[in-house]
Amino acid sequence: MAEAPDAVDTVVLDVDGTLVDTVYQHTVLWAQAFAEVGIDVPMWKLHRAVGIGGDRFVTEVAGEDVEKQHGDAVRKVHDERFDEVIDQIRPLPGASALLDELDRRGLTVVRASSGIKSQTERLIAIVGGDERSQGWTSSDDVDSSKPAPDLVEAAIGKVDGSRSVVVGDAIWDIEAANNAGLYSIGLLCGGFGEDELRRTGAGLVFETPQDLLDHLDETPLHPRSTD
């Protein structure tokens, strides 16, 4: 686990499961997509992989042979069906208020999603759009997705951040932060347990964005000094 920086200037926020309540929709839709090609993957296994990049997802839950034979088809079905339900997605408690407070504190906010660009844009709009962040990245911007550090590093690079903290709901977010040498904060709203997030390397764990907001002064996300 990386040490918390003394003076944070940038917050990298995951989107799915951290700001918007999508984890279980993704789980069900991945199950449907695998069923379309005749592959049965247990739901618990699918849930635990949500948050990893789509390019890695099929191999993670079903192995390399399934990826080679059906990977593109499975991703296509998942993405098409997620497009159909995305307007039903809602923000997680406190998501918009957290973004407002981070902005009020003078912190640069950038969002990093393992999802594809078109869907990431729509999800970001649910919690206030680009006006509440200084930039965002999706899997379209990098060669390797979470848990590789590429997405986090690309996000920070877009805003020239130098002292960053990552906030995410899945072990993949925490691993990506670790691989980038960054301190991370975990949220429970994606379904991973506190012990697991901490074992993976999260320095702090909160329940929801609202819970993080309520305890923000107990984290490294202090107001930027004006001295």
Dihedral sign (CA 148, 152, 157, 162): negative
CA–CA separation, 189 vs 176, rounded Å? 18
At 180 the pLDDT is 92
Question: What confidence score (pLDDT) does residue 226 get?
Answer: 46
Distance of CA 126 to the CA centre of its chain: 15
Copy the structure tokens of residue 162.
């130098």
Where the chain has pLDDT below 70, the residues are 129-133, 139, 142, 223-227
What tokens appear for 56 in the block?
A: 């890695």
CA distance 101 to 13: 14
Q: Count the neighbouring beta carbons within 10 Å of the beta carbon of residue 58.
A: 28
Per-residue pLDDT at 120: 83
Q: Which residues contact 44 (CB under 8 A, 6 or more apart)?
A: none
Phi-psi region of 39 (alpha: psi -120 to 50; beta: other; left: phi over 0): beta
**What are 23-60's pLDDT values in tens digits?**
999 999 999 999 999 999 999 999 999 999 888 999 99
What is the helix (H) or strand (E) element at residue 104, kind and residue range?
Answer: helix 95-104
The CATH superfamily holding the domain 10-22+90-218 is HAD superfamily/HAD-like (3.40.50.1000)
> Domain residue spans in the chain?
10-22+90-218, 23-88
Q: What's residue 124's pLDDT?
A: 86
pLDDT value at position 35? Answer: 98
* Mean model confidence pLDDT for the chain: 90
What number of other Cβ atoms are within 10 A of residue 122's Cβ? 16
Q: What are phi and psi of 94, to 5 degrees?
A: 85, 0
Q: What confidence score (pLDDT) does residue 227 get?
A: 46
d(CA 183, CA 197): 13
